[in-house]
A and B are shown apart, each in its own frame.
Chain A
Amino acid sequence: MAKVTLENVTKRYDDVTAVEDVSMEIEDGEFVTFVGPSGCGKSTTMETVAGLTKPTEGRVYIGDDDVTTLAPKDRGVAMVFQNIALFPHMDVYDNISFGLQLRTYEDEEIERRVEQAADIVQLEGMLDRMPDEMSGGQRQRVAIARAIVRNPDVFLMDEPLANLDAKLRVHMRTELQRLHRELGTTIIYVTHDQAEAMTMSDRIAVLNAGKLQQLAPPLVCYNEPANRFVAGFIGSPSMNFLEGELVDGGLETKNFTIGIDHDVVPGATIGDAITLGVRPEDVHLVEYADSLTDPTDRISARTDVLEPMGDEVFVYLLLADQAERSMDQDPASSPNQLLMSVTPDTDIQEEQSVDVVLDRSKIHIFETATGKSLAHGIVDRSDQESGPTATEAE
């Protein structure tokens, strides 16, 4: 058990910077997930912890030891790989005990530990099978057993569930959480699947283009994203973004204006280009506005396409005339489109005029130029607490 500290870690390949100046501190026993799109540097960051990649700059500490230049075998880490990476020429027992046999352990000790590890991942009776005789989930469990059998200080998991089918993935997700609870070991977990990140981790590290965007508990990343990238990456379907401008007494986007006192957006002045972000579940039909403590004025729109998901229905709203709809634009950032999520029993059809309102307390304001988050919630009634900036209000 140990904490893991990254200090200004940078990894450059010939002309590509895979990881840029990443610093973070992962507490002992914590479950931290690195999440981000493909090529964002999350795997490279993990490899610097494992020792498979040496950082160009910066230092890596496990516990209090500087392990930056240490070989992987001397770091006390264990890793589960995306491609599982069981040794195909060894049976399950030899695979699990591979690391122990390289060290000076008594045979009985090895046997006891392998059986214990196999017990934890429920692999009893399969120790003499070959990896190619096992199913994907069983192989993944062998890989996990191989990692836990050495009692490592830190577990590294590089997309361990990516090659499993959807049902098994959900099952293994809970298994891993149970495992973390039982072992209490520090776990660093890499995934591009935000559902895994949200459900399993104590904290999420969102990376993009080699830079750490935010390191915070899942719900903080969801409710108070540090910037537009995190806001768009966390949450499915993605947050709606509407570009606009801060004007006197309001927030003006292409198709509607929300009246606010501009003081609620700290660090921005009138005339600044801002981006308004709102999640689909915070867009409501005007009929339900009464249930909100703080709705905006009504915004008129036209329904376009409905996507019934069973537990909810996604409604694509067009804010402007259909003629202005442009298909080639990224729908998430189209100025004319708004995605709304409603309950399945809502009476709504395609091609219908509707009025919607937004939940003011759930509106996010980002600086358009930098994507930096300016405010979460624009609750600005003067009778409430004096000038609550968003972050404090949450």
Chain B
Amino acid sequence: MTDPISPRDDHSTTASNAGPTRPDGGNSTRADGGETQSRVFLEDGDAELDRGPLQRWVDDSIKNPDKVYRAMFYTAAIFFLVTTLFPFYWLLMVALTPEGQLSDIILTPNGFNPGAFIEVFQTIPFHWYVFNSFVIATASTVLVLVVGSLAGYAFGRLEFPAKVPLLLLVLVISFFPPAAFFIPLNDLFNTSFFILEPITGDGTLYNTPGAMVLPLSAIFMPLAIFILTTFYAQIPDGLEDAARVEGTTRLGALFRVIIPLSAPGVATAGVLTFIAVYNEFFFSFLMTDGQPESWAPLLEGILAYQGQYEVLYHLMAAASIIGVIPVAILVIVAQEKIVSGLTAGALKE
């Protein structure tokens, strides 16, 4: 490997003179050139061998590992792109196929019916479901970011007794399967509370956004706390001190200095929470009665195309594509924020 002479260039010269000059004698005759034997010699640093294409390729990749890494990168990237994007492509094909010709779609639609994207809104008030999901996801994200920021500040920047055990406790809570909380929560949200009557009418949280925002915020809170703790801990103490001397409280310093400087972390935690809540199935499905006026989210809307006697697959596909658009826009916008935050960073102490 360390031999500077390329094996292909100097193959003939070395074959003729390798024997006599080699101190280890016998093995140097290369006529039979078996693969195992040549590998042994490769590792010994004697690379001038008569080899087949595979051996040359192995030798070449050892010398130029970048080439292999690039090949591996393309393989992995293409694999992930196909597995994530092909279902979307297929959804689009299903959506464009007119009703009744839905069998045997392989790569092209059986017909062309872009009207399905209009029909989804005519069949049921799908936009209402999207709006509900959007409100629930936004409210959860705001709640998670505000509470998570306060917790992240405490865990990241303050010293207090039992800090590490508390942080671990937060982590442990996130280990529980959300389904384990469902029955008690469903029971709770169906209980009538007098103080809630002016807000929800019957005093229960069932069929209100609260029934989804509260449990979903709690479930995604630990991850946000961890992300924000890491980011807030990295802001130099001097900046917080400077803000406090200049006239902010600790809380003011958090919102005016620490959070703006942690924009990439806040964006990451926010986007993850938003997407997770927007796509969440279990609580969203069970905490409402499925009617748009009862704050039923997006996926109830998609399921609403499933009737007792027929399933409108092409409309479900079109609705799914429409439902993805808000998240896609959010990610594109937030990604710019994340990238700009990372490049503007360089927080020198």
Contact = CB atoms under 8 A, between A and B. Distances in A.
A72 B244 CA distance: 6
Contact of B243 (A78, A87, A88, A150): A87
Contacts of A98: 243, 246-247
B242 interface: yes
A52 interface: yes
Most chain A CB within 10 A, of B242, B252, B260, is at B242
B238 interface: yes
Contacts of B243: 87, 98
Given A52-B241, A83-B236, A102 B246 contact: yes
Nearest to A146: B246
Contacts of A72: 241, 244-245
B277 interface: no
B239 interface: yes
Contacts of B260: 89
B255 to A, nearest CB: 12
Given A78-B245, A85-B236, A87-B243, A102 B252 contact: yes
B338 to A, nearest CB: 15
B247 A52 contact: no
Contact of A85 (B242, B249, B252, B344): B242
A183 interface: no
The dominant DSSP class at the A interface is loop
A81 B241 contact: yes
Contact of A73 (B245, B261, B346, B347): B245
Contacts of A171: none
A50 B245 contact: yes
Contacts of A156: 245
B196 to A, nearest CB: 38
Given A77-B245, A99-B247, A102-B246, A85 B346 contact: no
Interface string A125-159: 00000001000000000000010001000001000
Contacts of B104: none
B349 interface: yes
B267 interface: no
Interface residues of B, number: 21
Contacts of B242: 79, 81, 85-87, 146
B257 interface: yes
Interface string B322-349: 0000000000000000000000101111
Interface in A62-86: 71-73, 77-79, 81-86
A73 B248 contact: yes
B245 A52 contact: yes
Contacts of A146: 242, 246
25 contacts: A50-B241, A51-B244, A52-B241, A52-B244, A72-B244, A73-B247, A73-B249, A79-B241, A79-B245, A81-B242, A84-B238, A85-B239, A85-B242, A87-B239, A87-B242, A87-B261, A88-B344, A88-B347, A88-B348, A89-B260, A98-B243, A98-B246, A132-B348, A146-B246, A156-B245
Interface of A: 50-52, 71-73, 77-79, 81-89, 98-99, 102-103, 132, 146, 150, 156
Interface of B: 236, 238-239, 241-249, 252, 257, 260-261, 344, 346-349
Smallest CB-CB A-B distances: 4 pairs? A85-B238, A99-B246, A102-B247, A85-B242
Given A51-B245, A85-B239, A98-B243, 20 more contacts: A52-B244, A71-B249, A72-B241, A73-B246, A73-B248, A78-B245, A79-B241, A81-B238, A81-B242, A85-B236, A87-B242, A87-B243, A88-B344, A88-B346, A89-B344, A99-B246, A102-B248, A102-B252, A132-B346, A150-B246
